Amino acid sequence: MNKVYCLYRVSDRGQGEKNDIPMQRIACRTFAQERGWEIIKELTEKGVSGYKLTMQQRDAILKIREDALAGKFDILLVYMFDRIGRRDDETPFVVEWLTRNGVAVWSVCEGEQRFDNHVDKLTNYIRYWQADGESQKISARTSNSMGVLTQEGCFTGGLCAYGYQYVKLGRTNRRKQEVFDLAICEEEAFVVRLIFRLAADEGYGAQRIANHLNAKGIKNRSGKNWHPASIQGMLKNILYTGILRSGESRSEVQEHLRIIDDKTFVTVQEMLAARSRKQEAIRSKPLNTRGKSLLAGNIFCGHCGARLCITTSGKGRRRQDGTDVVRMRYTCQTKSRTHGECDGQTGYTVEKLDAMIDSIIRGIFSRVRSLNRKDVVNACVDNDLNAKKVFLRKVQKDYEKAEKDLQRLKSEIVNALTGASAFSPELLNNVIEEQSQRCEELRAALNKAEKEYAESDSQLEVRSQQYDDLLEWSAAYETASVSAKKVIVARMIERVDVYRGYQLKLKLNISIEQFLVSLENIEVQEKKSPA
């Protein structure tokens, strides 16, 4: 493992006491950790100018040179190369001296400084007098300083998101000026919670939510009607879970800023992703929750694979009061719109098909409620563990065989060079490269399988939560609105294929399917057990 010295420097003592040194330290530690390096010493220079002072006047540089000669470390790591110094008549020669003495010089932002050729030398010398690069460096440090502030849970400025308000809590900037922080605006937070509830529980999209708010007379902060784009942005804003964001930086959860719980936020993100055009072929959320049909967006023709759409007609049976009965049908798009070839039915009555799905859903809920929670959860976990074990053994076997094949090919190298092999040297080289790539892929798959198997204990909590979700859906289903029922059904059934005569093929959500397998195993065991 490479041994690393880190050097952190700021020319302003006040800067060092606040944000810049911690930012450099975090960046360097993260950089080293990602590469498996060991940081054995961190040197800090506060209030030390990299231009005014020579290397001989800087204790940290003298220590680095001394320990480099003694071979105490392998890498000098800095945030930017100008942390070593800014003197174009001195600093590049110090960097080169370090590399010549076996110490690699790395920068988090700029990579490794090498001296393999004249171009590398020229680049090193230019680096310290190139004026136009200075502004970029300052910008980068400012950005990262903002990131550190964000990670510490501090608001770094920008537009105040709906649901919050600016407040002053006594926090000051480097100039001793009081700055703003965020706090929840309860009046707006009520609307935010309503928006997320409509999305998560009722399956409303951005347009429908905007229409709902506007119809209720609920205006945005400017006193105007809501726009779907604004709703869409709010539904994706992680700030509502209490997490501040600045660029790629994220804070820990700030509970005093939380408006939406994690479960609701994740549900909404899954719904948004499932409805994207890129994932149209596979949906775990309803395409829409308008109307009275239960399966819109999740139902397909079993014969041609086309999505079934909803068609309505007022012509047909008449009620006693003389009004028409509105007929709703799931209609094959191949037959009704594109007029392509399909040997299935043109349409299926919504009432009949929805009743069949409703019966299936109620049956699943009934089975789940009939058995002991602990037994069901443990059975699911055991099934998971067994499946992962079987998969791990298979991957391990494939990897071992691939490695043996690779070694067998490598043993042919001498024969190929002497002409005693069936392979030409060129062909053998290509085959070895392909087999090596396969071994690498299998090794990665094996590592992943081993990790998943080792983390199997965490499945108990996951399965417990999934079981509780099922019970929650079961309790809500009876009295839920049609929109809410659609959401529940879509969470349980990924896809429905319908064939002639109302024959159904259901693709359940993987977790639901695993629960049902576990239920069947428990029921079989109970039947075998003596009374």
* Residue pLDDT tens, the chain, 531 long: 899 999 998 876 544 444 578 888 888 999 999 999 999 999 988 876 655 567 777 888 889 999 999 999 999 999 887 778 766 556 677 888 888 889 999 988 888 887 766 556 666 665 555 533 453 454 445 445 554 555 555 655 567 889 998 888 777 666 666 777 888 999 999 999 999 999 888 878 888 899 899 999 999 998 999 998 899 999 988 889 888 876 666 777 888 889 999 888 988 888 787 666 444 444 445 545 455 678 766 788 888 888 888 887 655 556 566 665 667 888 888 877 666 788 888 889 888 999 998 998 888 888 777 777 777 677 777 777 777 888 889 989 999 998 898 888 888 777 776 777 777 777 877 888 888 888 889 989 888 888 888 776 666 777 777 778 788 888 888 888 887 888 888 888 888 899 999 999 988 776 676 666 655 555 545 555 554
pTM score, whole prediction: 0.45
Q: Report, in angstroms and rounded to the nearest whole number, the Rg of the chain calculated over CA atoms.
A: 32
State the Cα–Cα distance between residues 523 and 501, nearest whole angstrom.
Answer: 31
CA 258 to chain centre: 20
Provide the 10 A C-beta neighbour count for residue 168: 10
pLDDT of residue 512: 72
Distance CA 58, CA 73 (A): 19
Q: Is 155 helix (H, G, I), strand (E, B) or coil?
A: coil
- Would you say 331 and 309 are in contact if contact means Cβ atoms under 8 Å apart? yes
Give the type of residue at 285.
K
Spatial neighbors of 24 by CB under 8 A, at least 6 apart, are 8, 78, 79, 83
Quote the tokens at residue 511: 């977790």
Cα 2 from Cα 113, distance rounded (Å)? 16
Contacts of 11 (CB under 8 A, 6+ apart): 47, 48, 49, 50
- Of the candidates 292, 362, 295, the one whose C-alpha atom is nearest the C-alpha of residue 328 is 292
Residue 86 confidence (pLDDT): 65
Q: What angle do CA 142, 144, 145 make, to 5 degrees?
A: 65
What pLDDT does residue 231 have?
92
Q: Could you tell me where the DSSP H helices lie in 251-349?
A: 262-274, 333
User: Between the CA of residue 214 and those of 211, 237, 500, what are the distances in Å?
Assistant: 5, 21, 43
Q: CA 36 to CA 337: how far, in whole Å? A: 59
What is the SS3 string spanning 16-75? HHCCHHHHHHHHHHHHHHHCCCEEEEEEEEECCCCCCCCHHHCHHHHHHHHHHHCCCCCE
CB contact at 8 A, 442 and 406: no
Give ∠ CA 66-71-74 in degrees, rounded to 5. 105
Classified as helix, coil or strand, 124 is: helix
How far is the C-alpha of 47 from the C-alpha of 20, rounded, in Å? 12
What does the DSSP 8-state code read for residue 307?
B
Q: Alpha-carbon distance 524 to 519, whole Å?
A: 9
CA 458, distance to chain mean position in Å, is 19
Query: The tokens of 92 are what?
Result: 């590049």
d(CA 348, CA 359) in angstroms, rounded, equals 17
Kind and range of the H or E element at 331?
strand 327-332
What are the residues whose beta carbons fall under 8 Å from the beta carbon of 367, sequence distance 6 or more?
516, 519
**In terms of C-beta density within 10 A (0-12 exposed, 13-18 middle, 19 or more buried), how is residue 133 classed?**
middle
- The closest of 289, 251, 264 to 151, measured between CA atoms, is 251
Domains within the chain, CATH numbers bracketed? 3-151 (3.40.50.1390), 164-274 (3.90.1750.20)
**Taking every pair of C-alpha atoms in the chain, what is the biggest distance, in angstroms?**
103
Beta-bridge partners for 9: 45
Q: What is the pLDDT of residue 531?
A: 46
271, 203 Cβ separation under 8 angstroms: yes
Q: Region of 151 please: left (phi>0), alpha (psi -120 to 50) or beta.
A: alpha
The rounded Cα 284 to chain-centroid distance in angstroms is: 17
Q: Output the pLDDT for position 308.
A: 87
